[in-house]
Amino acid sequence: MKTILLLWLLATGMAVCRASLAGDPSTKPTASLDDPSSAAPATGPALEQEGPPKPPDDWKIMRSPQLTIAVPLDWQQVNTKGMGNAVLLLIGDGRGIPALDENSRPIHARFLLENLPKEKAAPKDAIIAMTRNIRTDPRFRVLTPPKIEEFTLADGTAAAYGELECSDDPNIAKLIQIVQAVDSKGLTWRAQTQISASADSKAARGDGYLGRWLRAHLRTMVFNGDKFSEDPLKPAYKDYAVEFKKIFGE
C-alpha cells in the first residue's frame, strides 16, 4: 500500500504524521525530526535476520502545503537539527537497496530536501555553480562531465536537473543528483540524492540501476499537489526490479 506522509513545517522543525492512501482515520504521529530518537542506524536490517533482499515495489508520497514529492518507502528519517536549510533527510543504507555493491563494498544512499531562501539564481545556473564548485575543489575528482538540463515539473513549474559523478577518495565513487525549482512565492527548493559505492561500481553511476531509480523520485517534485503524478515511478520500479534480480537472482 502506498503511504502518504503529511508534513507541517513548524517554527520548531518538521512534525510528521502518517496516514494510509485509503484515508485510514487512525493517523498516528511519528517522532518529530527534532527528536534525537529518530536518528537512523548506519545500515538497514541485517541480511542474516531478514533473508535475501527484495526489490521495493512501492513508495511514499511526502505532502506539505509547500510541495509534494515521492521518496523510497522504507528509508529512515533522520534529525536535521543543525543542518542549516535541510527540511528532510532520509538514509537508505540497506533499505530497499543492496547493502553491498558487486565488489562487496557498502552502498550508502541519502535523500535531502532543502529550502534555500537566499538563493536568487535560476535553477539551472545554481546547479551549474554547484557542480563548478565541486570541479574546482582540490579534494574532489570529477569522474564524468556533469549533466545538467532544464525540464518542467508535472505542475508546469520550470526546473533543472543536475547529475555529477565524483570522488573524494580513490576507493569510492559518488553520484550526486539534484532537482531544483522555485515556487510561486519565489522560494528555491532543492531535492538531492547521493549514492556512494566502490570506485568502479555500477551502483554509483548516473546510468546505473540506482541512479535511474532515484532520478525518477526526484522528478516527481511539484508545488501544486493536485498535479502530482506517479507515472514516472512505475517504469522506474519495474526496471529496478529487473536489475535487482540480475544481482540477487530469482
The per-residue pLDDT for range 16-75, each reduced to its tens digit, is: 323 222 222 222 222 222 333 333 334 444 434 445 567 788 999 999 999 999 999 989
According to DSSP, the residues that pair with 179 across neighbouring strands are: 161, 191
- pLDDT for the residue 62: 93
Instruction: Count each helix (H run) and each strand (E run) in the chain, helices first.
Output: 4, 13
Across the chain, what does the average pLDDT equal?
A: 80
Q: Per the structure block, which three cell numbers stand in for 109?
A: 544512499
Total tally of structural domains belonging to the chain? 1
pLDDT given for residue 54 in this prediction: 74
CA dist 162 and 157 (Å) reads 16
- What pLDDT, in 10s, does the model give residues 139-172? 999 999 999 999 999 999 999 999 999 999 999 9
Residue among 146, 103, 145, 99 at smallest CA distance from 126: 146
Query: What integer pLDDT is reported at residue 220 of this predicted model?
Result: 97
Residue 15 pLDDT? 29
- Count other C-beta atoms under 10 Å from residue 115's C-beta: 16
Mean pLDDT of 177-189: 97
- Single pTM value for the model: 0.80
CATH of the domain at 175: 3.40.1000.10
pLDDT of residue 250: 56
Q: How far apart are CA 240 and CA 234, in angstroms?
A: 10
Q: How confident is the model at residue 193 (pLDDT cuts 50, 70, 90)?
A: very high
**pLDDT of amino acid 50:** 47
- What's the confidence (pLDDT) of residue 243? 83
| 31-to-17, 41, 76, 77 alpha-carbon distances in Å | 9, 15, 12, 9
Q: Which residues contact 150 (CB under 8 A, 6 or more apart)?
A: 123, 124, 158, 159, 160, 161
Q: Are strands 59-63 and 3-10 parallel, antiparallel or unpaired?
A: parallel
- Please say whether the dihedral angle defined by the alpha carbons of residues 10, 19, 234 and 225, taken in this order, is positive or negative: negative
HSE, side-chain direction, 13 A CA sphere, residue 88: 26
> 64 lies in which domain range?
3-248
Residue 68: CB partners within 8 Å, gap ≥ 6? 61, 62, 220, 221, 222, 223, 225, 228
pLDDT at position 32: 28
